[in-house]
Structure 1
């Protein structure tokens, strides 16, 4: 009786002139993906594509590694796609159709490959399925100028010809992915590629790469098939916003160029991050080029407290990170002494520039990689640099570093007397040879180290320190830079290597023994830098360390 009354009332409402039209939402579609390994969930864009869809959309990835437009049918995978009875079927082949893949897979782009695509389109339509052709994801074969050398263009062209002939929607992923590669460049794109102990895979995608390429596919699909737009999660589909190259925040400004990121406080430079290597000075071997470090770091009065390409140790660059004695997959690697040409640390990409209510900063990725072929990216190091507000009498900024293994093999950091998070001071502060000897057009000036134990250069070497201060004179005026080591850091308070004659030191967790960096155990550190135009009071530094540690 209750159901009858409800039905009667519903009919009355529908028949009433005042009743609003009833819109019945379409059922969530089912989408099937057909293709080779570059479409799969584990090595292609398929996994990232599924993440972009709303939860109630059923996406079935039938792509299979190693298959071509010929073998996908002959092995029965195409029929399994049809048996799913989806509303939409995305089809991408080409990689394994190329010459050299064997007669069971090869298909000439101008003949058989086109015929296979035509048959796929026709059979899908007969089954009541709407096909969408996708041109091949590009291989990343780079020329010396950082541009892609296309290897699949004739297969991409064949797919476009069939799409036009059959009036079927087309996603030109080949062109879109090449444009994406050119926009990012060869080093930054490595963040999207699978990495193993044998080197980088320039064909397939890792999880981050899957999401990045899937956004290209989804955005193009919505243009070609607009009715699918409501079935994508809007937030997930939003394109990455262009990074702000200029940020103003109260007393701070940040300015990014193609080469650097500079942060100023009240028009005084605080620091400069180098995305590319600065020019190598005359007389210095170009082998010492390096990117991914801070220099110059400056005091409020404009004194530079760091150095790059110093003639005595040209591999030392401002504020930088590097390990010295390491082992990886049976290879001995030195990331610090780059003239040995076993390993190096490079800037890879800028992730973000940001501002908070009071501070300003940026996030970047650095790569610790081998130099010899094949080049292996062993660690990805993420820096988060945050410049903190002060009263203007000193500069303050934080460096947070996370070093994450990129392959299944660990990097073993062996016990050694230096290596880690380092600071190189001005050449004027060299203490050898003795005497007030001229260095070019500059003269040497006094400098010293002091730590929270009030120990200086010799006694303080390898002491476990909460902070270390490098103090000296430039032009007869006192200036200092102090590094605070956070209490949560690995092996904190960390041992600090203080060089007996040169103006550099580093917090070195490796002094206390070997350890591994692997996927389950990243190396994480947090350091605060204080730069003054005076010799700092140790008690003032103690207070800052406590503030840094929320004590």
Structure 2
């Protein structure tokens, strides 16, 4: 988000070029029982497509104007500064009229199509790269490990990579992805993760729902991924619409959402069987992490010795990287299936101490999917340099799990009389 002086200058420039404005709604944001800090607000509003809106508020006796972004019948912005528990803040939503060119600010969220996929950046700093093209495995590895549809690298704000792909111990580990492992489709067991079985795989595909977005408040992409049963011919058992939304947060941390929506691809149901691994959100941690220089912490206070099989609302993985410490926090939405979700975390002595952590919703119960319904799994990711405390993680969780109450009151347009 731009600094206040920058936004005010932009507004003066815009209005100086013949743009007038009209207040179209009054908005109240109530903190509720949670202290808010730089909170991301997304609220339904029937905005006019292609039009430019601004939020106007009074803070410490001064008028403040800031960016708002619209998409899919919603408007979004980030609260400036703190909003303590029990307090509220009011805004006027203003529609700018006339010709308005909106400059993107220095911390805008942008996308670039490169390296077989999309790189999403905040300003000049890459946040993550998503691979759409099929990636070949390392030389000498089985060609069954060819796959696309994963995130690597995911970065800290200072550019440290947090992820690893195709490690020699597990060629099917792919940065950040949703590894559905043990499933049942048309009476057969299908594994969409352990690619060497040649049972199933995942392929990004063309779809009218695919999109790329850039903006001053958020940016990212939507990408359809087919979960393929390998055969003669191949068949799609399950579709997944993956949405990655990166926010232009004012803090030093990167904040982004990983939202996955599953559907049956045909009239045949699919069951995601109970299994110790799979689904949800998984990360294969940075190559340099081991049991001596990294650690895991969960919302219930579990460390790497205790985390596997426990239930959690969030987990942190952090440790020493090539240019200093860093890590990531993963928040699981309380509306997710089987929440709070079970964790699969490699014990500290597995695989030489390498890091694998997974929100595995089917670890202790199956999940049957039926045709005609959609099934959402939503996670928020915070990446950081240095270290993140449990108190900071809990504050992020409260803000995500219990969003503030937002009231939007449209302003009626006056009726002209003759």
TM-score band by shorter chain is: 0.5 to 0.7
Aligned equivalents of 1:466 and 1:256: distance in 2? 34
- 1:471 is aligned to 2:318: yes
Relative distance call for 1:463 and 1:473 in structure 2 (3 A) is same
Give yes or no for the alignment of 1:335 onto 2:192.
yes
Equivalent residue for 2:364, pick from 512, 528, 533: 512
How far 1:427 moved relative to its partner? 2.2
Deviation at 1:258, TM superposition (A): 7.5
CA–CA distance in structure 2, aligned partners of residues 483 and 388 of structure 1: 15
Are residue 321 (structure 1) and residue 178 (structure 2) matched? yes
Counterparts of 1:460 and 1:546 in 2: how far apart (Å)? 21
TM-score under structure 2 normalisation? 0.67
The structural deviation recorded for 1:301 is 1.2
Q: What is the aligned length?
A: 292
TM-aligned CA distance change 1:249 to 1:416, over 3 Å: farther
Q: Which residue of 1 aligns with 2:376?
A: 524
Which residue is 2:309 aligned to? 462
Bigger mean CA deviation after superposition, 265-274 or 283-292:
283-292
In structure 2, the CA distance between the partners of 1:257 and 1:475, relative to structure 1 (3 Å rule), is closer
SS in structure 2 at match of 1:427: coil
1:294: how far off? Answer: 0.7
Do the aligned residues in 1 keep the contact of 2:104 with 2:215 (CA within 8 Å)?
A: no
1:378 and 2:225 matched: no
CA contact 1:359–1:389 (8 Å) conserved in 2? yes
Paired residues for 1:225-264 under 5 Å: 250-251=106-107, 252-257=109-114, 259-264=116-121
Q: Matches of residues 146-545 of structure 1 in structure 2 within 5 Å?
A: 250-251=106-107, 252-257=109-114, 259-349=116-206, 351-355=210-214, 358-391=217-250, 393-420=252-279, 421-431=281-291, 446-475=293-322, 477-500=324-347, 501=350, 502-545=354-397
Q: Which shifted more, 509-518 or 479-488?
A: 509-518
Q: Please state whether the residue corresponding to 1:547 is helix, strand or coil.
A: helix
Equivalent residue, structure 1, for 2:35: none
- Counterpart CA distance in 1 for 2:249 and 2:115 is 29
C-alpha distance in structure 1 between counterparts of 2:104 and 2:186, whole Å: 46
Counterparts of 1:451 and 1:408, CA distance in 2: 39
In the superposition, relative to structure 1, how do residues 336 and 266 fare at CA in structure 2: closer, same or farther (>3 Å)? same
Q: Residue 310 of structure 1: SS of its match in structure 2? A: coil
Q: Provide the rounded CA distance (Å) in 1 between the counterparts of 2:140 and 2:127.
A: 29
**Contact 1:249-1:360 at 8 Å conserved across structures:** no
Question: How high is the TM-score relative to the length of structure 1?
Answer: 0.51
Describe the shift of the 1:327–1:300 C-alpha distance in structure 2 as closer, same or farther (beyond 3 A): same
Larger proportion of helix: 1
Which string of whole-angstrom CA distances, capped at 9 and with x for unpartnered residues, describes residues 273-315 of structure 1?
1011334333433321210111110111111001111111110
Counterpart Cα distance in 1 of 2:157 and 2:263? 34
Is 1:367–1:380's contact at 8 Å kept on the other side of the alignment? yes
Contact 1:249 1:355 in 2 (8 A): no
1:423 CA displacement: 1.0
Do the aligned partners of 2:314 and 2:397 also contact (CA within 8 Å) in 1? yes
- Would you identify which runs of 4 or more consecutive aligned residues in structure 1 move more than 6 Å? none
Gaps of 5+ in 2: 1-102, 404-418
Q: Which has the higher contact order (CA 8 A, sep 6+)?
A: 2
Any idea what SS the aligned residue of 1:472 has?
Answer: strand
Contact kept, 8 Å, 1:414 with 1:513, in 2: the verdict is: yes
**Separation in 2, partners of 1:447, 1:377:** 39
Q: Separation in 2 of the partners of 1:302 and 1:257?
A: 18
Q: What is the CA–CA distance in structure 2 between the aligned matches of 1:461 and 1:324, rounded to whole Å?
A: 17
Shift of 1:322: 2.2
Structure 1 residue 545: Cα displacement: 1.0
CA 1:390/1:464 → structure 2, altered by over 3 Å: closer, same or farther? same
On the 8 A contact 2:331/2:379 being kept in 1, the answer is yes
What is the aligned partner in structure 2 of residue 227 from structure 1? none
Deviations 1:378-429 (A, max 9, x none): 1110011100122352111101110100111111111111101211112222
Larger Cα-atom Rg = 1
List runs of 5+ in structure 1 lacking aligned partners: 1-246, 432-444
1:515 Cα deviation from its structure 2 partner: 1.9
